Structure 1
Amino acid sequence: MALTEKEIFRYKHPIAVPGMGIDMQEALKAARILIVGAGGLGSPILQYLSGAGVGVLGIADYGVILEEDLHRMPLYQMQDVRKHKAKMASSRLWALNPYAKHYPFLIQIKPGNVAQVIEGFDLIVDCSQHVPTHLVINDACVLQDKPFVIAEVHNWMAWFGGFNMPVLNNERSASYRCNTHVIDEYRNFDAGSLGPTHGATALQLATEIMKYIAGVPALAGKLYTCNFLHHQYGTVDLVPNVEIITEVKTVGILTAEIYGMEIVPDVED
């Protein structure tokens, strides 16, 4: 997707980075990415992907902005409290980069709508930090053969991984379901949350997403872990499980009850 003269001027510094150039910037403009969850993790990812020039960003979040969460959501301001995150994110991001398109979806991602919502996107980034939502997105992406990313931050601990992504021989990397036993080891559900750990994770993930769009295979089939307290970082290879993937393709989307998902009422805007 060709850049306009104004866009070339706007992105002249990223274009000048070795390995980037006009072609890479045009690939970013052509990208269509859905971010699920526009809170402490999703909102800074949205800021940097929008600023980088990603052409279309979907924002799926039915929740509202709370004052006690502003410490980890610098995209929003005090006057945004009690307003819907997806709508305010779209507004703030337009002010950041009017050359990108930002589409708010004031919905809960759930079995009844997930297939329709993800259909128009090239990459799904799940920042919901909610296991039932992870599973719903996993199954829908496997069925539609779409790559997706899942990330979580719990106080000092964080992880993110690239799932169902193209690898060698036209195959796909592991699904989330294939590695839940591995991922669970990196969860830390102690109380509390820190703004910088969310921001630091979001910056790493935004960088990896840009590399993925550029064709760098660093995200596919990898789980990146961060222990910010002890400054420890790790990489785990994710292993596909053919039986699990085949079962998802055979059974399809399950019910909310099976996923353990509580369905919330639709937002009345």
Structure 2
Amino acid sequence: MLKRDEQQRYSRQMILPEFGLAGQESLKAAKVLMVGAGGLGCPVLQYLTAAGVGIIGVVDHDVVDISNLHRQILYNSSDVGRFKAVVAKQKLELLNPHITINAYPEKLTPENAGSLMSNYDLVVDGSDDFTTRYLVNDVCVELGKPLVFGSVFKFEGHVAVFNYHNGPGYRDIFAEAPPENEVPNCAETGVIGVLPGMVGTYMANEAIKIICGMGEVLSGKFLTINSLDNSVNVFNVTKQTAASPGSSLKKETSPGNYEISMDEANQWLAQNSNEVYLVDVRETYEYDDYNIGGVNIPLYELTEQAGTLPVHKKVIFCCQTGQRSKMAVQLLKPVFTGEMYSIKNGIF
């Protein structure tokens, strides 16, 4: 039952016919765990708190750094050096005193992930490292929890909903994590400050739709946003794997046979150049800055140009880290009958 001041606070969303009183009561009854209180976590937490989600958990072992402040707008200069989860709890409680915020200033690990996540209905992943992303996905699969995922890289953002009504998971796009020391982070590559806000609000919107049972959820979809050219694309994702109970926390999914090393790719290109077709799926500005040859077809244009790929040659996809090239193979599986390969760990 909503109190009178709660009805007044949420009145602008409650008058929406698709939302109404039932939607607000669903939010109040919901329990959401936010993994990561950084660039993505800040807008997600602020909007879910403002919307009236009843219980929100915040997991983050990191402290506020001055270099965070251009994009993590929940914090200010006086918060530098303090645990993000603790600061977030204090500020979110000021934003909405009608909800409960649980702070977990600790690292999410295989030992504590299950116990933490089992207490919540929905998990939102705003982490910035692959180890955590795979852990969150695998535990959600084990527990049957829906997962809202988001990530940012330079000027590009990604949003998806995984494990929703037994739908596709993160591993159905990226079956295997690259080595951590070979993946660039924001400190090395940079990120435009407004991008996490754009992606984070999308993530919060997906969480609200899932909780309230309204609209079309990004399950089986992978949304990309490019803040430089304003392109927004949605790719279809099919379920590729069937995880057996208990397996996902014990070992990584074995890599698909479509992955080859950079050395193998170079060998193929040197020995059988007429039988190999190299496709760089990065953005045009990335390709122009540095490339190893081949044609440039940005990932978001790939399905439209699938008909231009030669079915009688080995098609090799490449990108900076190997993640977009793996996704390229997954996207084209339903429509391309030729041999496809991805350069593992990218071209750098």
Structure 1-normalised TM-score? 0.86
Residue 25 of structure 2 aligns to which amino acid in structure 1? E
Structure with larger RCO (C-alpha < 8 A, sep 6+): 1
Match of 1:37 in 2: 36
Deviation string, structure 1 residues 105-155 (Cα, Å, up to 9, x no partner): 011111111110100101111101211111111111111111112210112
Greater fraction of residues in helix = 1
Unaligned residue ranges in structure 2 (runs of 5+): 255-348
Match of 1:232 in 2: 231
Is structure 2 residue 2 aligned with structure 1 residue 3?
Answer: yes
Task: Report the alpha carbon displacement of residue 241 of structure 1 after superposing the two structures with TM.
Answer: 2.1
Unaligned residue ranges in structure 1 (runs of 5+): 167-171, 259-269
Residue 254 of structure 1 aligns to which amino acid in structure 2? K
Identity value in percent: 33
Match of 1:169 in 2: none
* Pick aligned residue for 2:168 from 174, 187, 196: 174
Task: Report the alpha carbon displacement of residue 18 of structure 1 after superposing the two structures with TM.
Answer: 3.0
- CA RMSD in angstroms, aligned pairs only: 2.2
* Pick aligned residue for 2:250 from 242, 250, 254: 254
Task: Indicate the structure (1 or 2) with the bigger Cα radius of gyration.
Answer: 2
Match of 1:20 in 2: 19
- Rate the CA distance shift 1:183–1:253 in 2: closer, same or farther, 3 A: closer
Deviation string, structure 1 residues 199-220 (Cα, Å, up to 9, x no partner): 1111122112211222134222
- Rate the CA distance shift 1:125–1:65 in 2: closer, same or farther, 3 A: same
Q: Distance in 2 between matches of 1:252 and 1:162?
A: 18
Native 8 Å contact 1:157 1:188 kept in 2: no
Q: Distance in 1 between matches of 2:72 and 2:136?
A: 24
> How many pairs were matched up?
246
- Rate the CA distance shift 1:113–1:182 in 2: closer, same or farther, 3 A: closer
Residue 124 of structure 1 aligns to which amino acid in structure 2? V
Q: Distance in 1 between matches of 2:154 and 2:59?
A: 23
DSSP 3-state at the match of 2:160: strand
Native 8 Å contact 1:155 1:188 kept in 2: no
Task: Report the alpha carbon displacement of residue 193 of structure 1 after superposing the two structures with TM.
Answer: 1.5
- Rate the CA distance shift 1:77–1:250 in 2: closer, same or farther, 3 A: closer
Q: Distance in 2 between matches of 1:205 and 1:183?
A: 22
Structure 2-normalised TM-score? 0.67
Residue 180 of structure 1 aligns to which amino acid in structure 2? F
